[in-house]
A and B are shown apart, each in its own frame.
Chain A
Amino acid sequence: QKEVEQNSGPLSVPEGAIASLNCTYSDRVSQSFFWYRQYSGKSPELIMSIYSNGDKEDGRFTAQLNKASQYVSLLIRDSQPSDSATYLCAVVNYGGSQGNLIFGKGTKLSVKP
């Protein structure tokens, strides 16, 4: 059974701090990774995708991928209260005939003013 593991949190950080969200996955052949943000009562919103080892930056967000360790993370710099949400890690499942995503349970982030 292919799995994506995330710490459920809640992760609480003060406003202006760096929030670090982590994700591990079990399928060694995975090549594509995504981070989604989900506000309470809303649907998931794609915020980052990463395909290669290393860092990928987009504004205040940085995704980091280490395929050897089967680990992907999301850093949020200068955290704002509006970043308070659940962050879902998703990994492409290559076992099916289509590129399906396997989602983790999500990490709830709370940014305190």
Chain B
Amino acid sequence: ETGVTQTPRHLVMGMTNKKSLKCEQHLGHNAMYWYKQSAKKPLELMFVYSLEERVENNSVPSRFSPECPNSSHLFLHLHTLQPEDSALYLCASSQDWASGKLEQYFGPGTRLTVT
């Protein structure tokens, strides 16, 4: 595997379900991100992890819960979602701030539909 991978690629879930999205990066980076992309809106940053520590949470509802067990893996745990949470969820990775290399590389995304 190369680059950034995400599973599943598509997910349909009911409002009472619990599911998790998984992201893995094979680039040797140490910062990882979750973004939400809805139609006709800019990419919205949800969570940032640097060296496995959460450094930013952009006021995301508590029904989204991130987990970063190590610098290569990132999860997004979902529970009691709303239909408006249907979107493309993108994971990205980069080197950390100190390196000055701030280019972010994206995974293929998970297309989430909440019914």
Contact = CB atoms under 8 A, between A and B. Distances in A.
Interface of A: 4, 32, 34, 36, 42-46, 49, 88, 90, 92, 96-106
B31 interface: yes
B56 A46 contact: no
B42 A43 contact: no
A36 B97 CA distance: 20
B42 A46 contact: no
Interface in B49-67: 50, 55-56
Given A32-B102, A46-B103, A49-B103, A100 B43 contact: no
Interface of B: 31, 33, 40-43, 45, 48, 50, 55-56, 88, 90, 94, 96-97, 102-109
A101 B42 CA distance: 11
A2 to B, nearest CB: 12
B96 A98 contact: yes
Given A43-B109, A46-B103, A92-B102, A100 B45 contact: yes
B56 A105 contact: no
A99 B106 contact: no
Contact of B56 (A42, A43, A98): A98
A100 B46 CA distance: 11
A32 to B, nearest CB: 5
Contact of A104 (B42, B55, B90, B109): B42
